[in-house]
Amino acid sequence: MYDYLIAPFAEFDFMRRALVGVLALGLGAGPIGVLMMLRRMSLAGDAVAHAILPGAAIGFLAAGLNLYAMTIGGMVAGFTVAIGAGALARATQMKEDAALAAFYLISLALGVLLVSLRGSNVDLLHVLFGTVLALDDATLTLIVSIASVTLVVLAVLWRPLVMESVDAGFLRSVSRAGAPSHLVFLALVVLNLVGGFHALGTLLAVGMMMLPAVAARFWTRDLTMLVGLSVVIASASGVLGLLVSYHSGVPSGPAIILVAGGAYTLSVLFGPVGGLLPRLVPRHHLEA
């Protein structure tokens, strides 16, 4: 048991770095995924994750695989698309999901093209799928800092963020915190996707955010429990994915997301809140 669960982290420094990275991602992305689910923005997270790609690619063209250049570029691109899609939806008859889909396709194609102009296939794979087993001190500090900022902001603004997620119109009618809360939420989404981008790549970053949240929804209706369970599932998926990757030799990023996908599948089947098998169990008359 020690050889399978503990030894990889005890013996190898790169595994310990990856462990800290995925735990930090789980702490920050878990609650954000729950808020996105409450807002019915699950697919929007995927669009914003891909929107990061052209900004990161421009940073790559300017400075190579430089952490700060790619981070700043990704943040600028993510904010531009997240805010631009909403503004376009309000200025035209296009729905926001359609605007995000258009931005998503354009961003993905543009980002791949820009990276291909200067980089190799290895660089492209690095950008698309991340390198969670090759996190250096600077990248790990960035991911942990993003998780810390996320938790502090959520602790301070939790009530307006939840209210804006559940009933934005009511919040705007009783408070001026509606628009600022929405901007703060978008900022947290972009920040966590940028952190996930460095570890899991632009194609998989949103998986650490959304799969644990939707899996947790099948186990509880309580919001506090939902957030806590989402963090637990995200963190456990990261740890188990790293172990699967280490022992089987498969890429670590896809392994982590597939483990999270397995948690989602089990939740769909066995979750007491809307799961398939519990719904087949006969209930007493008038039982909820």
Domain 2-280 has CATH 3.40.50.620: no
The DSSP code sequence of 75-112 is HHHHHHHHHHHHHHHHHSS--HHHHHHHHHHHHHHHHH
SS (H, E, C) 37-58: HHCCCHHHHHHHHHHHHHHHHH
Hey, where are the domains in the chain? 2-280
Q: Which residue has the higher pLDDT, 157 or 46?
A: 157
In the chain, helix, strand, coil percent, each to 5?
80, 0, 20
Q: Which residue has the higher pLDDT, 14 or 112?
A: 14
Q: Which tens digits make up the pLDDT trace of 95-144?
A: 766 777 787 788 878 888 887 877 677 777 777 778 898 899 999 999 99
- Does 90 have pLDDT greater than 60? yes
Q: Which tens digits make up the pLDDT trace of 246-273?
A: 999 898 999 999 999 999 999 999 999 9
Highest mean pLDDT among 61-70, 83-92, 174-183: 61-70
Helix (H) or strand (E) segment spanning residue 65: none
- Does 239 have pLDDT greater than 70? yes
- Does 287 have pLDDT greater than 60? no
Distances (CA, A) of 89 to 81, 97, 204: 12, 9, 26
Q: What is the average pLDDT across 26-36?
A: 94
Mean pLDDT of the chain: 86
CB 205 within 8 A of CB 46: no
The overall pTM is greater than 0.85: yes
Q: What is the average pLDDT across 64-84?
A: 85
Percentage of the residues of the chain whose pLDDT score is greater than 70: 94
Q: How many whole angstroms separate alpha carbon 53 and alpha carbon 9?
A: 31
Q: How many whole angstroms separate alpha carbon 95 and alpha carbon 89?
A: 5
Q: How many whole angstroms separate alpha carbon 87 and alpha carbon 133?
A: 38
Q: How many whole angstroms separate alpha carbon 240 and alpha carbon 255?
A: 8
Q: How confident is the model at residue 284 (pLDDT cuts 50, 70, 90)?
A: low
SS (H, E, C) 215-267: HHCCCCCCHHHHHHHHHHHHHHHHHHHHHHHHHHCCCHHHHHHHHHHHHHHHH
CB 278 within 8 A of CB 272: yes
Please return the burial class of 283, using the count of CB atoms within 10 Å of its CB with bins 0-12, 13-18 and 19+.
exposed
Confidence (pLDDT) at 92: 76
Q: How many whole angstroms separate alpha carbon 215 and alpha carbon 226?
A: 9
Q: How confident is the model at residue 280 (pLDDT cuts 50, 70, 90)?
A: confident
Quickly tell me which residue has 């430089």 as its tokens: 66
Q: How many whole angstroms separate alpha carbon 169 and alpha carbon 222?
A: 22
Which pair of structure tokens corresponds to residue 83?
A: 């805010």
